[in-house]
Amino acid sequence: MRITSLGRERLDEATRLLTDALPHDRIAVVAAEKLFGSDGKRTGLLLGALGDDGTLAGVIAAAGRWIKVLAVAAPHRRRGIATELLAAVPGARRRAGDHPGNYLTPGVDVRYGAALAFFAARGFRRVDEVENIRAPLAAPLPCPEIAGYAIRRVDAGTRGPLLDWIGRAFAPVWAHEVARALDGPRRVVHAAWLGDTPVAFAAADGNNQGLGWFGPAGTDPAHRGKRLGEALLMRCLEDVRGLPEAGVIAWIGPKAFYAKTVGAVDDRRFVQLEEPAT
């Protein structure tokens, strides 16, 4: 078995392997993004394990210390291939799954019991559990206007001020993810403005493009309680209606808000894993 860098010529083969190995993920839709997409300021690493005949037996994609994807084809499991691939990712306190800004999932799905056992055997510890929820989109959603605010889709003219504000008020990685949404085919980013000042935003289909996942979103604390989040959420969900996982609200924070606003229900749970400090 040989561990080597993978190029785009292996995308189709890697996608087939990942699709078989990760049945709870729609990896076929987002494989190119997960394997070859931007990791922001972190250094990406994509490696494959090749058998003696040159076929692909395993894949690992990492960004800095984050393991984004790790899978081994069923016929090649229990031969130490995953261990070799993991060992090829440098750094201390490596994490599994929840790479900020470009994640397949925000952790390891609890249904992947073998993966959880694999990481536990190599010293990874559970640091948190998070979840995705899902809003039913059977009927059209109302998209209310809010008195005193201008709510509109973000365009080239408002992109710069909005991204700058998100980076300062929330997190640079959120600005990065929103920028990816604006550069994507659907450009699902809406914002609320008070005069020329952004006070709330919401995005969808920025990460895992083509699935329709919602997020990130945020409102300036001084403007909360005015239904801005509700108005922006509904606009984004309408924009992604019809995509394979439209209605999924990923890596959620205020679960009660989504349940009340759009009837969101439990969808998937994930374990976030990290190596202990040495």
Scored b (16 or more CB within 10 A) or e, 160-178 reads eebbebbbebbeebbbbbb
Distance, in Å, from the CA atom of 90 to the CA atom of 245, rounded to the nearest integer, reads 34
Shared domain for 190 and 248, answered yes or no, is yes
Contacts of 183 (CB under 8 A, 6+ apart): none
Q: Does some domain include residue 53?
A: yes
Mean pLDDT of 158-166: 98
Residues 6 and 123 in one domain: yes
Burial (CB < 10 A; 0-12, 13-18, 19+), residue 94, is buried
Q: At what angle do helices 172-183 and 156-169 cross, to 10 degrees?
A: 160
> Within this chain, do residues 122 and 238 fall inside the same structural domain, yes or no?
no
Taking alpha carbons only, the member of 81, 79, 42, 37 closest to residue 59 is 81
**274 neighbors 93 (Cβ within 8 angstroms):** yes
Chain segment 20-62, per-residue pLDDT in tens: 999 999 999 999 999 999 888 899 999 999 998 999 999 999 9
The token pair at 255 is 């679960």
- pLDDT tens readout for residues 168-188: 999 999 999 999 999 999 999
Q: What is the pTM of this model?
A: 0.93
Residue 210 within any structural domain of the chain: yes
29 and 117 co-located in one domain? yes
Asked if residue 63 and residue 20 are part of one domain, the reply reads yes
Residues 187-243 have pLDDT tens digits of: 999 999 999 999 999 999 999 999 999 999 999 999 999 999 999 999 999 999 999
Residue 93 lies in a domain: yes
Q: Judge whether 78 lies within some domain.
A: yes
Query: What is the average pLDDT across 9-16?
Result: 97
Clarify whether residues 209 and 124 are in a common domain.
no
Give the chain's domain count.
2
DSSP state of 93: S
Cβ–Cβ < 8 Å for 46, 5: yes
Q: DSSP assignment of 48-79, as one string? A: EEE-TTS-EEEEEEEETTEEEEEEE-GGGTTS
Task: Please check the confidence at residue 91 and state whether its pLDDT lies above 90.
Answer: no
The fraction of the chain above a pLDDT of 70, given in percent, is 100
Residue 91 vs residue 228, higher pLDDT = 228
Residues 98 and 212 reside in one and the same domain:
no
Asked if pLDDT for residue 127 goes beyond 80, the answer is yes
In this structure, is residue 277 part of a structural domain?
no
Whether residues 19 and 80 share a domain: the answer is: yes
Does residue 209 lie within any of the structural domains? yes
Residue whose C-alpha is closest to residue 42's, from 100, 105, 85, 3: 100
Asked if the structure places residue 195 within a domain, the reply is yes
> What CA–CA distances, in Å, run from 156 to 160, 179, 187?
8, 11, 11
Instruction: Verify that 255 and 180 share a domain, yes or no.
Output: yes
pLDDT, residue 57, reads 97
Question: Percentages helix, strand, coil for the chain, rounded to the nearest 5?
Answer: 35, 30, 40
In this structure, the answer to whether residues 75 and 155 fall within a common structural domain is no
Tell me the pLDDT band of 278, cut-offs 50, 70 and 90.
confident
Residue corresponding to tokens 């039913």: 136
Whether residues 6 and 124 share a domain: the answer is yes
Question: Tell me, what CATH number does 157's domain have?
Answer: 3.40.630.30
User: Is 161 inside any structural domain?
Assistant: yes
Phi, psi for 45 (deg, rounded to 5): -140, 130
Domain enclosing residue 13, as ranges: 2-130
In the structure encoding, which two tokens stand for residue 54, read together?
Answer: 């040159």
| Angle subtended at Cα 235 by Cα 229 and Cα 237, rounded to the nearest 5 degrees | 100
Q: Are residues 228 and 110 in the same domain?
A: no
CB atoms within 10 A of CB 214: 31
CA atoms of 17 and 127, how far apart (whole Å): 29
Q: What is the 8-class DSSP label of residue 250?
A: -
Q: HSE (CB half, 13 Å, CA atoms) of 105?
A: 28
